[in-house]
Chains A and B, each alone.
Chain A
Amino acid sequence: MSGTSTSSGGRPASEPVDWTVVLEVQQFLFSEARLLDACRYQEWLALLTDDVHYWMPVIENTLGRGAPHRFSPDRLAFFDDNLKSLRRRVDKLTNRTAWTENPPTRQCHVISNVEVEPAERGDELTAHSVFVHNRGMGERDEFTLVGRREDVLRRTEEGLRLAKRLVIIDQHVLLARNLNVFF
């Protein structure tokens, strides 16, 4: 099994993207993170395209050399969502009987290492970033997850929108009791 990332594999982007675009993408990712930190999920949903694919595969622990993060679309995942299922997740999290959210979950996304590349489609950009996600629950539960994201952002009349997100974490066994958040 191998990753299906379209990443340029550590090489700098072949065609540099204009700095104003890089800043625009950074601003989008930072704002998006702030919405998630505040659990403003309906506003977050509005930043997604109708055909969004949100995918966080299970990272496999296998022998051999080659790419260290091993995953494949035909294997089980932590998230494998379209807009319909993401809306349902938000409906669940915002329902007054969502027991995990009462007391509310506190979270912070630290977004860094943003790189922007042209994507296959002319109206899209590929954005690489890393995240440190910290989550506090109840009196003293804390979960930290670090990972890398590969996004496809599409330029629309309303501005940039997220069309695809691949979330790649370093853990094989997820060291947390649940994932009541988005990355």
Chain B
Amino acid sequence: MNPRLETAAMDAITLRLFDTIEEENMAWIMAADSALRHAFGDALTDLTPSYTTLLIHYDCTRLSFCEASNKARRALDGLQPATTQDGQLHEIPVWYDESVGPELPLVAKRAGIGVEALIQRHCAHDYCVFALGFAPGYGFMGLVEEALATPRLTTPRKRVPAGSVGIADRQTAIYPLLSPGGWNILGRTAVPLFEYARRGEPLFNPGDKVRFKAISKAEFEAAGGDTTPMEERS
């Protein structure tokens, strides 16, 4: 780790800890997250952790640029990575079906396996949450095993329904609400990620782990899932 503080804006500093995406980064990112929250206190306007960085947004009526930089530097002194127990494991039930996961055959075919094997392998890994972004409660997770990695659709869809579970390259994610999107959709969950996020209590945070669990259509419906098939590409 080689921490660098970079000017991002008049009242924002990027703390860059790493250069590449690794699951191991997250223990350090989350340690820096809590150290910075503690050090800045009320003078912190926003703190956005991501794969390799944290964006520190501070109140410039209370801290000058130099004071903020020094505070950040001191907060990092003697930083230790968060222990793995700090990140929680969340199990997300998913109904994998072509009607709500139209790219199941495509991703399976690219991997040279059947759809059943694809579902099993997508569920076999505990994915690390790298960042929340794109939409409230949208978690960028990975890393998906190399064989299942699939590039984004050439033309993004205008409407990806809430709960859609997708893959893009070596990442996987769940759409919390109806939005445009270009990820390869494999299935749908009834877990209301958006509702958690808008209450300020996201189901998962960066540094947490997520495991998908395949469920039947009946179980999905019982959980309140919407079985409306995905619309044709528009």
A and B: interacting chains: no
Interface residues of A (CB under 8 A from B): none
B interface with A by C-beta (< 8 Å): none
